[in-house]
Amino acid sequence: PPTVRLEDYRLSDHLIDRVELDVRLDPHDTRVTATLALRPNPAGRAAAPLVLDGDDLTLLALECDGQAVAPDAYRADASGLTLHRPPQRPFTLRIETRLDPTANTKLMGLYRSSGVYCTQCEADGFRRITYFLDRPDVLAVYTTRIEADRDSAPVLLGNGNPVEAGDVPGTGRHYAVWHDPLPKPAYLFALVGGRLDRVAKSFTTMEGRAVEIAVYVEPGKGDRAAYALDAVERSMAWDETAFGRAYDLDVFNVVAVSDFNMGAMENKGLNIFNDKFVLASPETATDADYAAIEAIIAHEYFHNWSGNRVTCRDWFQLCLKEGLTVFRDQEFSSDMRSRAVHRIAEVRNLRARQFVEDAGPLAHPVRPKQYAEINNFYTATVYEKGAEIVRMLRTLIGEPAFRAGMDRYFADNDGTAATVEDFLSAFEAVTGRDLSSFAEWYERPGTPRVAVSGTYDPAARTYRLAFRQTRPGAGADAPPLVIPVRVGLVGAEGPLDGATSGRVEAGVFVLEAAEDALTFENVADEPVPSPFRGFSAPVRVESPLDAAARLTLLRHDPDSFNRWEAAQRVALGLMAAQARGEASEDAGADAFVAALDAFLDTEALRDPAFAAQILTLPGEGELADEIGTDTDPDAIFSARQALRRRLGAGLRERLTRLRETLAEPAGAAFSPDAASAGRRALRNAALDLIAAADAEAGTALAQAQIEAATNMTDRLAGLATLALLPGEAREAALTAFAGRYADEPLVLDKWFAIQAMIPEDGTVTRIRRLQTHPAFAMTNPNRVRSLIGSFSLANPTQFNRPDGAGFDLLAEAVLAIDGANPQLAARLMTAFGPWRRLEPGRRAAAESVLRRIVATPALSRDVTDIATRSLA
């Protein structure tokens, strides 16, 4: 496929100032008339032809300034429209196209989801609606008239503010006109038409604007939209206080649809959501679902400034809106919940997805330099590592300067399409600092390593802490990164506050050279270093600390993140040794159990959510990442099981007591708030460990919990525990669950996922059977991700079966889906990412499946791109 390169960026030769769309919705024969006010770009090439993008379009009519365009003056086909000699002055094009929303299985452009008309235009779906300059640096003011059958589509929504609505007499049809006063790129265009229930509330902005916030959902599900509606309101209020950003239209609409390729989309004034991230009730949603809904609602809302008011010049700048907006939603969630616990969740996610991506064949810089298919670059690297870069910037320049820089960025770039350079220059302007070395973070793939080692001098009472940074694959000429290291020292009895170093300012040391060291004065006893507090940089830390020193951090570090990190490192060390077959009779595990016991004694009831994190061991993926090469997923699984069993046995009494103490009083009303969720999380972490140590007791406890559950979190946790314990009880519980939720597709997704993750030989067969279940559909992205996605991303032993049956299952699904929905197929393909680090037998099996996929005729560009890069 042709490659698009950042270095080839050129301004558009034409601009579009205004767009008037007339969309007549019909299930199979939708007519779109676009009236475009165009003009030559004074900064572009004079007399250039006008080349409009198109994808799968049928042109019905074309007029320029009111005249039909002569056949020899243009060329149009499904994939574009060229006007050979466009006027050298402002002119108007009127383009009529026809489309079939029902046949649109790619879920890009205008399509139907359970009968509801909706759109998805990012990154390049608008060209599937009309011919256009479909690039983010062409900003226009849109007016949209939507017309549809009144019975089947009583609700008609567009971007911006509603202007006018009415009947089309004698036709059974009606229309609505929407006007969006703020110029925007085409990827932010949206419309919706359908039968939907509405819940709404009013909000008054700090500028005094009255805003009507509304959430639209499938009829009958209005009561499940209350939490999302509340989250929008909290997001609006938070962006005012935290960033001084007010909403700018009279209405803010959120629509939930059931067929959606990703989580949600930030279309101006009309966010469209995967209903999984809107609908919630205690009976159907887990605490994790509530948290995800809150975060994604916030994320899309925050795009209104970071993405919409200031958009991206080109798709290479995607992190400019995505990394920044993830950072903003993470800050929001941290303020709404527990900051320490949220940080742990962020880092778990970063390590599980971004570190793995960055270590494999799909690694790319946060600002990629080239792409064959842009939709494959909505990655953990662009989003999550992108957010870490913004966070590091704040750590480097401090909170007040960061806020001033953000204000400056929004002020200087409002209404424009910006670049990463524009972003950094706003912070240079307010701080007077040169950020050119810092910018290196955007340019290269790979997770940096920082080796940290300390030397204590008892006579001088000094402690020298040395740092050395390296980057995988970076040549000797690669400039070092600017790495903020939040650091402190901890002694046997607690934090060493008396120790100081001139190189540490406000708790932060800045590592700018390949090697550097700092010296703490006034250190009475040999300390334990605590670097990268709060995970101050997205690096892998290499430190020679032994388990005893790490357990000192677990006990005394004032930084919660590093307390958790210490426990994780000890667990990783124990599991990695066991998986490599190095484990002897380990006193190490006993010391770990004892430390956790002591920890729980003082902390479990003070902060149950944090304690649950401490008890949750690193996942199999992280362990594979730690081992690095020639990994054996079965050995990894057994090592993790062994440690879970050990913790469950060693902490048995305490965990049992905790479960009793933390039980909700009978009849208590459900609340999704962080404190209640934290109590549930700790009870369920305890259940998991008890069951690991004692299958019989675990089965009984899980059954009782399912029986008594008054919410989905507890019910599903019980089921997840049973899922790991083969036998009658499990199958009976699965059957009962499916019966209870037969009419709840989003709950059945959880049921599919739990079974897809069973780490047993029978799972491939089970999945093949589930693929024929009436509730399963290869055309619905949520169903596919639940069954096939969970299997390939969250069931390492079975996906990576030595006989290749897991790889075959994924390959078959990818090929079955690719023709209809290439984006979904390509997303599934990324599960092959870590294939090269497998042991030789599995590696060969994965490679042969990948080669078979690449050799398949008529493969989409999306899948071809992932498969070829995976093999490169």
Active site residues: 300
Nearest to 50 by CA among 22, 95, 80, 78: 80
Residue 377's binding partner out of Zn ion, ligand B3K, none, with CB under 5 to 8 Å set by partner kind: none
Q: What is the pattern of x (binds ligand B3K, CB under 6 A) and - over residues 299-338? A: xx--x------------------x----------------
Task: Determine if 262 is a binding residue for ligand B3K (CB under 6 A).
Answer: yes
Q: Alpha carbon 341 to chain centroid distance? A: 18
Pairing mode of beta strands 462-470, 449-457: antiparallel
Cα separation, 19 vs 121, in Å, equals: 15
> Contacts from 202-210 at CB under 8 Å and sequence distance 24+?
203/233, 203/236, 203/237, 203/247, 205/236, 205/240, 205/246, 205/247, 206/240, 206/246, 207/246, 209/246, 209/247, 209/248, 209/250, 210/250
Q: How far is the CB of 273 from Zn ion (least distance, A)?
A: 12
**To the nearest 5 percent, what fractions of the chain are helix, strand and coil?**
45, 20, 35
- Please spell the DSSP secondary structure of 158-223, one letter per residue: ESSEEEEEEEETTTTEEEEEEEEEEEE-GGG--EEEE--EEEEEEEE-TT--EEEEEEEESTT-GG
Using the contact rule CB under 6 A, the part of the chain among 206-214, 262-270, 513-521, 643-651 near ligand B3K is 262-270
Residue 265's binding partner out of ligand B3K, Zn ion, none, with CB under 5 to 8 Å set by partner kind: ligand B3K
Task: Determine if 375 is a binding residue for ligand B3K (CB under 6 A).
Answer: yes
Residue number, 357 or 620, with CB nearest to ligand B3K: 357
What are phi and psi for residue 252, nearest 5 degrees? -135, 115
Contact 185, 138 (CB under 8 A): yes
Residue 122's binding partner out of Zn ion, ligand B3K, none, with CB under 5 to 8 Å set by partner kind: ligand B3K
Q: How far is the CB of 297 from ligand B3K (least distance, A)?
A: 11
Cα separation, 818 vs 44, in Å, equals: 38
Task: For residue 274, give Cα distances in angstroms to 228, 255, 836.
Answer: 12, 9, 33
Q: What is the pattern of x (binds Zn ion, CB under 5 A) and - over residues 324-363? A: -x--------------------------------------
Residue 262's binding partner out of Zn ion, ligand B3K, none, with CB under 5 to 8 Å set by partner kind: ligand B3K
Q: What is the pattern of x (binds Zn ion, CB under 5 A) and - over residues 309-328? A: -------------x--x---
Using the contact rule CB under 6 A, the part of the chain among 25-33, 248-256, 298-306, 401-409 near ligand B3K is 298-306
Token representation of residue 237: 């209020």
Residue number, 264 or 729, with CB nearest to ligand B3K: 264
Cα separation, 417 vs 188, in Å, equals: 13
Cα separation, 104 vs 255, in Å, equals: 19
Q: How far is the CB of 286 from ligand B3K (least distance, A)?
A: 22
Site for Zn ion in 34-63 (CB under 5 A): none
Task: For residue 193, give Cα distances in angstroms to 25, 167, 626.
Answer: 8, 15, 49
Residue 376's binding partner out of ligand B3K, Zn ion, none, with CB under 5 to 8 Å set by partner kind: none
- Select from 74, 117, 305, 378 the one that contacts ligand B3K (CB under 6 A): 378
Residue 123's binding partner out of Zn ion, ligand B3K, none, with CB under 5 to 8 Å set by partner kind: ligand B3K
Residue number, 125 or 194, with CB nearest to ligand B3K: 125
Strand ranges across the sheet with 50-53? 50-53, 80-83, 74-77
Cα separation, 299 vs 304, in Å, equals: 9
Q: How far is the CB of 391 from ligand B3K (least distance, A)?
A: 18
Token representation of residue 69: 């365009």
Cα separation, 281 vs 423, in Å, equals: 40
- Could you tell me which residues come within 8 angstroms of residue 359 by beta carbon, excluding any fewer than 6 positions away? 446, 447, 472, 625, 834, 837
Task: For residue 66, give Cα distances in angstroms to 60, 63, 439, 441, 453.
Answer: 15, 6, 49, 51, 75
Using the contact rule CB under 6 A, the part of the chain among 259-267, 726-734, 757-765, 787-795 near ligand B3K is 259-267
Contact 433, 152 (CB under 8 A): no
Residue number, 264 or 767, with CB nearest to ligand B3K: 264
Residue number, 386 or 648, with CB nearest to Zn ion: 386
Q: How far is the CB of 326 from Zn ion (least distance, A)?
A: 7
Q: Count residues contacting ligand B3K (CB under 6 A)? A: 12
Q: How far is the CB of 333 from Zn ion (least distance, A)?
A: 14
- Could you tell me which residues come within 8 angstroms of residue 157 by beta carbon, excluding any fewer than 6 positions away? 146, 176, 178, 190, 191, 192, 193, 216, 253, 255, 270
Exposure letters 305-333 (e unless 16+ CB within 10 A, then b) = bbbbbbbbbbbbbbbbbbbbbbbbbbbbb
Amino acid identity, residue 776?
F
- Select from 15, 107, 188, 265 the one that contacts ligand B3K (CB under 6 A): 265
Q: How far is the CB of 276 from ligand B3K (least distance, A)?
A: 14
Q: How far is the CB of 268 from ligand B3K (least distance, A)?
A: 12
Task: Determine if 373 is a binding residue for ligand B3K (CB under 6 A).
Answer: no
Residue number, 265 or 758, with CB nearest to ligand B3K: 265
Residue 417's binding partner out of Zn ion, ligand B3K, none, with CB under 5 to 8 Å set by partner kind: none
Q: What is the pattern of x (binds ligand B3K, CB under 6 A) and - over residues 531-570? A: ----------------------------------------
Using the contact rule CB under 6 A, the part of the chain among 19-27, 199-207, 261-269, 835-843 near ligand B3K is 261-269
Q: How far is the CB of 292 from Zn ion (least distance, A)?
A: 14
Q: How far is the CB of 266 from Zn ion (least distance, A)?
A: 6
Q: What is the pattern of x (binds ligand B3K, CB under 6 A) and - over residues 111-150? A: -----------xx---------------------------
Q: Which residues bind ligand B3K (CB under 6 A)?
A: 122-123, 262, 264-266, 299-300, 303, 322, 375, 378
Q: Which residues bind Zn ion (CB under 5 A)?
A: 322, 325
